[in-house]
Structure 1
């Protein structure tokens, strides 16, 4: 048992004692039990990650460094807000108030996460599919490449958020507008990436395939697609994170549901405990999505 591991748990013990035993200088109308549950969940996740790395023979101090930083920040937040009342009452809610939101509004949070996820997946998969298919076709056919590659170079750097207000007004429903915003955010970078990858194919390989009489459809499905597949899988994490950012922005404009709407609506009513809880939920969702895409990459690119 190393010193860092002991120090991390000593810091956790101090944090728990401060929460439970030290008197409050700021009036807190909620119990501290949800906060303690949250600390326990974080501790369990830390131990699971640490044991998993040890089982795989990976000796690293990263998880312990991260959890020590989390405990230190939580301790500073608790002392500054709840125990010593050094922070503004409205703008900086106490940890007890923030984590009580999860205990009292978990149904609302879950419903908004489900709403956001359905829109995210629809726009994301549509953008990825169109970007891959059209990118391969345009990358393979020289005339189409010369026509659309300059257009993609112009469109890809433009943030889809620029089009968000117009799309929200133009589309018949907000959900359709959200899907379009996500689609644009995913499509152009993926399309540009596919055109570049197809263009980088070894000319000798293509000449050999042509000499064997391989047709265009077979060339695309049997040679080009397997060649670009690792690049598609490698871009999953970045594309999915970008799609989530586009969705959250769109929901802050004109949505009636979703995690972005939840944060914006809470901000309007100065419910900053709910705002911080919503931000934490965003971080959790993005982390889960990132872990899922990382697993897909490992699962389907085992040869790399």
Structure 2
């Protein structure tokens, strides 16, 4: 009985913590009589979301679309560059410092440039999502390939395997756990990039909706937008966590191991 209770607690810990936080949030707002235009209670946020679900859904779909497109481009570019950087020392020495320097630049600084080049709309949001999310994929794929044991490569060569065979049959499978770990990080960053661009240079998306709502002091709608972004991020994160468990089960040693 105690074991079942503990298992139930572990399985539902996040939901219980969320419920406690929402109740505490509601109690603080009601008890301290915080004005809704400063910090709305969860009940006010819920009411705003229900009352305006159609525009929220429309803008959420726009953000979701731009995020997935930018994320998809980031995955392709990150994997290609990661394979090159992790496999060839010359490419690593030539390219990696430049990529680190590029990644150190705040991506919000690129938004005005992208607006000048492509105008206000979807394209800057897609490119911002790409720019902010491709680096984790690149680094993790390169790390997975670069940490391949030299002894294993020697054994493969002794069996007549070419460099391409080693990469295809050993290197890439070896890098899968790193790859899926990077996807969970990159998708959350992609949402950040999309919303940043939408707040600066767009007439669609959750970022634009939040900016429009904040300009009219409709903080309940702003928080509703924040929650929608959070929900989309959690759903995509859990999707890639499931894929990680499905395709890299061999990398999880023991029944108590859990993907983070």
Shorter-chain TM band? 0.7 to 0.9
CA distance in 1, matches of 2:21, 2:219: 23
1:77 aligns with 2:29: yes
Tell me which structure has the larger Cα radius of gyration: 1
Corresponding residue of 1:298: 245
Query: Secondary structure of the residue that 2:7 maps to in structure 1?
Result: coil
Q: Tell me, which stretches of 5 or more residues in structure 1 are unaligned?
A: 3-52, 82-86
Preserved contact between residue 126 and residue 183 of structure 1 (Cα < 8 Å): yes
Q: Deviations over 1:210-238 (max 9, x none)?
A: 33332333332222111111111122221
CA distance in 2, matches of 1:295, 1:196: 22
Corresponding residue of 1:122: 69
Q: How many aligned residue pairs are there?
A: 249
The one of 52, 57, 60 equivalent to 2:7 is 57
Q: Tell me, which stretches of 5 or more residues in structure 2 are unaligned?
A: 253-260
Corresponding residue of 1:243: 190
Structure 1 position 191, deviation (Å): 1.6
Judged with a 3 Å threshold, the aligned counterparts in structure 2 of structure 1 residues 189 and 64 are, in CA distance, closer, same or farther, namely closer
* C-alpha RMSD over aligned residues: 2.6
Structure 1 position 173, deviation (Å): 5.6
Query: Secondary structure of the residue that 1:235 maps to in structure 2?
Result: helix
Preserved contact between residue 140 and residue 182 of structure 2 (Cα < 8 Å): no
CA distance in 2, matches of 1:65, 1:293: 23
Q: Deviations over 1:175-227 (max 9, x none)?
A: 22222111111222322332233222111222222333323333322221111
Q: Deviations over 1:269-303 (max 9, x none)?
A: 22222112212222222222222222222222222
Query: Secondary structure of the residue that 2:32 maps to in structure 1?
Result: helix
Preserved contact between residue 152 and residue 191 of structure 1 (Cα < 8 Å): no
Corresponding residue of 1:275: 222
TM-score scaled by structure 2? 0.85
Corresponding residue of 1:67: 19
Judged with a 3 Å threshold, the aligned counterparts in structure 2 of structure 1 residues 258 and 216 are, in CA distance, closer, same or farther, namely same
Instruction: Using the TM superposition, name which of 288-297 and 257-266 deviates more.
Output: 288-297
Instruction: Using the TM superposition, name which of 118-127 and 177-186 deviates more.
Output: 177-186
Corresponding residue of 1:108: 55
1:229 aligns with 2:179: no
TM-score scaled by structure 1? 0.73
Structure 1 position 125, deviation (Å): 1.5
Judged with a 3 Å threshold, the aligned counterparts in structure 2 of structure 1 residues 278 and 168 are, in CA distance, closer, same or farther, namely same
The one of 142, 146, 154 equivalent to 2:93 is 146
4+ residue runs of structure 1 moved beyond 3 angstroms?
53-66, 92-97
Preserved contact between residue 136 and residue 182 of structure 2 (Cα < 8 Å): no
CA distance in 2, matches of 1:55, 1:218: 50
Corresponding residue of 1:22: none
